[in-house]
Structure 1
Amino acid sequence: MHELGVTFHIMDHLEKVAAENKVTHVRKVTLELGEVSTVIESYLQSCWTWAAKKRPLFDKSELVVETLPAITYCENCEKTYPTVANGKICPYCGSEHTYLLQGNEFNIKEIEVE
């Protein structure tokens, strides 16, 4: 489960930012999570809840996850389509000359502090 490592990475980063800004408590963290990022939201939420209890800065903090849909671009017909439903093959022209435009992201979008 790499979600625990991801959680620690986020918290470590936010602890540095909080120290630089003299923040004593984080109320809420909003993440953008790509649909095909390989991070499982339910596991991430469980890891966050567990880890937040162990770090005073995050005690009782909320983790909000916004899912970004995976979108693929076809170089042949220049159209975009939903990646999860169609995979690498373009549903419009059948081409395999495609690439992921979005959906693999993992971004800290917003932090609410006291």
Structure 2
Amino acid sequence: MHELAVTESILEIALRHAEGSKATHITDLYLVVGELASIVDDSVQFYWDFVSEGTIAAGATLHFRRVTAQMQCQNCQHTYAPRESLPCPACGSTHCKVIAGEEFYLESIEIDQPAVGETS
């Protein structure tokens, strides 16, 4: 259910930036979602259709770009993608940190603006 709050935040951010650019319509939103983020694309899309209704973002297409998880061993500095287990495949250490894959953010939006000389 946290996708509802997340989706409402995405809408608020998109509307703030679009209105600051005098947009008449938001057409596309580009989201970056890490493999380890607990975000379900279909849920965000479902809530988007609901929360954006009646706004300049209604009908906008959501584009999801997934970022694969990356770990870095704090002992040998080896960088790797965790799969079956989390220990470092180079040295076996469990002293590792996540360096990618937890992201979730609105990367960009595409908007329509009034033509030059038009007023909205």
Compared CA separation, residues 55 and 90, structure 1 to 2 (3 A) = farther
Q: Secondary structure at the match of 1:19?
A: helix
Alpha-carbon shift at residue 105 of structure 1 (Å):
0.7
Whether the aligned pair in 2 keeps the contact of 1:74 and 1:99 (CA below 8 Å) is: yes
Matched, 1:47 2:23: no
2:109 matched residue in structure 1: 111
Distance in structure 2 (CA, Å) of the matches to 1:5 and 1:60 = 19
Distance in structure 1 (CA, Å) of the matches to 2:87 and 2:45 = 33
Matched, 1:3 2:35: no
Whether the aligned pair in 1 keeps the contact of 2:15 and 2:57 (CA below 8 Å) is: no
Alpha-carbon shift at residue 15 of structure 1 (Å):
1.2
Distance in structure 2 (CA, Å) of the matches to 1:111 and 1:30 = 6
Q: What is the letter of the counterpart of residue 71 of structure 2?
A: T
Distance in structure 2 (CA, Å) of the matches to 1:70 and 1:30 = 19
> Pairwise mapping of residues 76-95 of structure 1 onto structure 2 (< 5 A)?
76-83=75-82, 85-95=83-93
Query: Any gaps of 5 or more consecutive residues in structure 2?
Result: 113-120
Moved more, 92-101 or 42-51: 42-51
Identity %: 30
Largest Rg, 1 or 2: 2
Aligned length: 112
Q: Secondary structure at the match of 2:16?
A: helix
Query: Any gaps of 5 or more consecutive residues in structure 1?
Result: none
TM-score, with length taken from structure 2? 0.85
Corresponding residue to 1:102 among 83, 100, 103:
100
Q: CA RMSD in A?
A: 1.3
Q: Which of the two has greater helix per residue?
A: 1
2:35 matched residue in structure 1: 35
